[in-house]
Structure 1
Amino acid sequence: MTPASLDAFLHAIPKVELHCHLFGTVRHATFSELNRRAGSPLAQDEIEGFYTRGEKPVGVLRVLRALDAQLVRSPDDLHRLTYEYLQDAASHNVRYAEFFWNPTGTVHASGIPYRAAQEAIVRAIHDAQRDWRITGRLIAAIDREASPEAAVEMVDWVLANRREEEVIGIGIDYREVDRPPELFIEAYQRARRAGLKTTAHAGEFGMPWTNVRTALDLLQVDRIDHGYTVVDQPDFARECADRGVLFTVVPTNSYYLRTLAPERWAMDHPIRRMPGLGLRIHPNTDDPTLHKVTPTQAWAMMVRDFGFGLSDLRGFMRNGLDGAWIDDDRRRAWHAQWGAEFDQLRERHLPDPSSSSSGT
């Protein structure tokens, strides 16, 4: 298997994206344009740092927060960001994308009312489906750096402006440090009672595996975003495997790039160990422009960095379909169609039978 043939194959396979943040998808040109329009509150080196992979020269969270506080000013801005993200994802054959948006920042920092913001994003979802044949679905994300009361407020906005087809659930993002899942139990209870799907970032930033347990058992989420520290407790990992929990993992997660030695990063990363514990994983971009990664590259890292083979990738694709918040008829149809397409693309791009053996 040559690098070019592998890349062509991974570009062509059908994909779902289940873990991506809208503000982490902003194109470089769009970010610069929004900054100029606002009078350049961010220095050029701050913007360039946002698009630098590895050790960031400036605080990434400051730049992300600047989008809410200074750059995004109208519903049309949100429409643009959403449409551009879905166009970029579709160019890598992502056919279905569930992506996060932080309404608390939009309402309280950008000053855009929730209904107007949501309608702009939903309009972009429809426009992208028409133009690029990609299905987009929105997950309203709790800002875990805000208060638990703000989380409840956010869920109430979603419920008062319900768009059941396009706005399908809630999640929680930003820094997990000192903001454990149990702080937000009331918001999750309200969402679940109303029939919203739920997920949570847990076990990221090196935070303990107990946060994963809390998210599953107390918040009762449908899946886990990141979840890497579950490998620190094999008994609990086996329980998660038995329960069929899906972990939406991110090969470019920056915590392990910062904390593991460069020569050991790929060997010691928890993603490499998770399937061996029986855990169901699915690779995602998280923040594609921030992490300098495309959906194709995220899948390629699973092979090149973590040693998985094509049969593993086929399983990861199935995991994503099983974990996606779609109806069962669509799930069954996509399982059959995408599995056949995967096999056909493998024959076309990687005809050597030895290339299909597992790398685990």
Structure 2
Amino acid sequence: MDTSISTFVSQLPKVELHVHIEGTLSPSLRWHLAQKNQIPLPQYPTYKSLVASYATMYNHRRELHGDNGLPTFLEAYYGGMEVLRTEEDFYDLAMEYLAKAADMNVRYADPFFDPQAHTRRGVALAAVMNGLERAKRDAKEMYGVEVDWTMCFLRDVDPSSAMETYEQALEGGFGHVFHAVGLDSNEYDRPPSLFQDIFARARKDGYWITAHCDVGQKDTHEHIREVATSCVGGLEGADRIDHGLNAIERPELIQIIKQRSLGLTLCPHAYHRRLPTEYVFGNIKRLWNEGVRITIASDDPTYMHQRWVLENLELVMYHCGFSGGDMVRLQRTGVDISWAAEDVKERIRKELDIMERTLTSE
């Protein structure tokens, strides 16, 4: 890849609207927390073997593609979480990502977190919430990175658990820690409409709403339609769609998305590691040309070959043939569809204005 692309993208002020904080758990932090919390890792007798495990290509969907002997991505993802036990662990996890985000010139991040994946292991909800809240405060002071949190519910768990977790968060006084709710985990035969009640409750309480519609999943087009139109208590759609690349295959979905000015949070390497280049980046460019509001993010970078938001933007600039001006406009769109405070948005827009003027004068 042209080094000029890497140089330009590294300097670009960025937002990241689709990253799972648990998916940023580095091998070094995982090893450290395992030792600290006295959690055995029998499948990884050495740190070197743990690091090597992160390079694997997963069985993306056993229910669709059969068993090829490899772990699924979700098995690896949830397996890594076992070392997260205390408030300090969640703080360290978040701060490690946010320090890297600052190095990549990320100005605003809206990471997901999965409280049910921790409470079902016996971890106190307060440990998760307090660690993330403290990281939000310290990241702004130490790194200049503004952070909001989106609390995701596990799609392959009964919706009653989502409601219980949500109510526990509010009753525990943690309603201010997150500003949005979402859906993630295994989407197979789990339409967003199953979660209408919790979405309706969150909408009433003033939270933003989003949901994953992964690429190539069974019924993904119907899932996109539900998220865009009716998943919130059967009354209206969500405020954003996570992934949603398959929408480009259905003109009626593109029409709905554009009518509602919905943003899509796309994670190119997450798709590119298992799908052809032309399919992934060709469809991203088609969405762009259609005027759909898109932003580029990393998803679960440590489990996806260390491709962070920086590398994902490089891939898009290279494979989509985007100019520097296009990349600035792409970040401007990310700012527009973010749920950041208006003063935060304005600060980033001013930076992008300066970069755009510099490009124009060259």
Give the shorter-chain TM-score range.
Answer: 0.7 to 0.9
State the Cα distance separating 1:161 from its structure 2 match. Answer: 3.6
- Bigger drift between 55-64 and 313-322 goes to 55-64
State the Cα distance separating 1:248 from its structure 2 match. Answer: 0.6
- Bigger drift between 88-97 and 52-61 goes to 52-61
State the Cα distance separating 1:347 from its structure 2 match. Answer: 6.8
Return the TM-score normalized by structure 2: 0.86
Distance 1:81 1:190 in 2: 30
Q: How does 1:182-331 map to 2 (within 5 A)?
A: 182-207=193-218, 208-218=220-230, 219=232, 220-254=237-271, 257-258=273-274, 260-261=275-276, 264-266=278-280, 268=282, 270-291=283-304, 292-331=306-345
Residue 158 in 1 paired to residue 159 in 2? no
- Bigger drift between 296-305 and 162-171 goes to 162-171
Residue by residue over 1:105-151, the C-alpha shift from the partner in whole angstroms, topping out at 9 and shown as x without a partner, is 11111x22212320111112212222111111111110112111111
**Conserved in 2, the CA contact under 8 Å of 1:203 and 1:209?**
no
**Conserved in 2, the CA contact under 8 Å of 1:267 and 1:306?**
yes
Aligned pair partner of 2:154 in 136, 143, 148: 143
Residue 334 in 1 paired to residue 348 in 2? yes
Give percent identity, aligned residues only. Answer: 26
- Alignment CA distance shift 1:284-1:112 (3 Å): same
Q: Which one-letter code corresponds to 1:65 in the other structure? A: Y
**Conserved in 1, the CA contact under 8 Å of 2:268 and 2:281?**
no
SS at match of 2:183: strand
User: Which residue of the partner structure matches residue 130 of structure 1?
Assistant: 141
Distance 1:186 1:41 in 2: 41
Residue 16 in 1 paired to residue 15 in 2? yes
Residue by residue over 1:174-233, the C-alpha shift from the partner in whole angstroms, topping out at 9 and shown as x without a partner, is 121211101111111111110011111014343421211101222221101000111121
Q: Which one-letter code corresponds to 1:108 in the other structure? A: R
Distance 1:190 1:108 in 2: 22
SS at match of 1:252: helix
Residue by residue over 1:55-90, the C-alpha shift from the partner in whole angstroms, topping out at 9 and shown as x without a partner, is 57543322221234x311211111110111111111
SS at match of 1:96: strand
Q: How does 1:11-90 map to 2 (within 5 A)?
A: 11-36=10-35, 37-43=38-44, 47-48=50-51, 50-52=53-55, 54=57, 57-68=70-81, 70-90=82-102
**Conserved in 2, the CA contact under 8 Å of 1:266 and 1:305?**
no
SS at match of 2:148: strand
- Structure 1 unmatched ranges of 5 or more: 352-360
- Alignment CA distance shift 1:177-1:102 (3 Å): same
Distance 1:266 1:229 in 2: 10
SS at match of 1:38: coil
Q: Which one-letter code corresponds to 2:319 in the other structure? A: D
State the Cα distance separating 1:261 from its structure 2 match. Answer: 4.4
Q: CA RMSD in A?
A: 2.4
Corresponding residue pairs, total:
341
- Structure 2 unmatched ranges of 5 or more: 60-69
Distance 1:59 1:193 in 2: 36
SS at match of 1:221: coil
User: Which residue of the partner structure matches residue 358 of structure 1?
Assistant: none
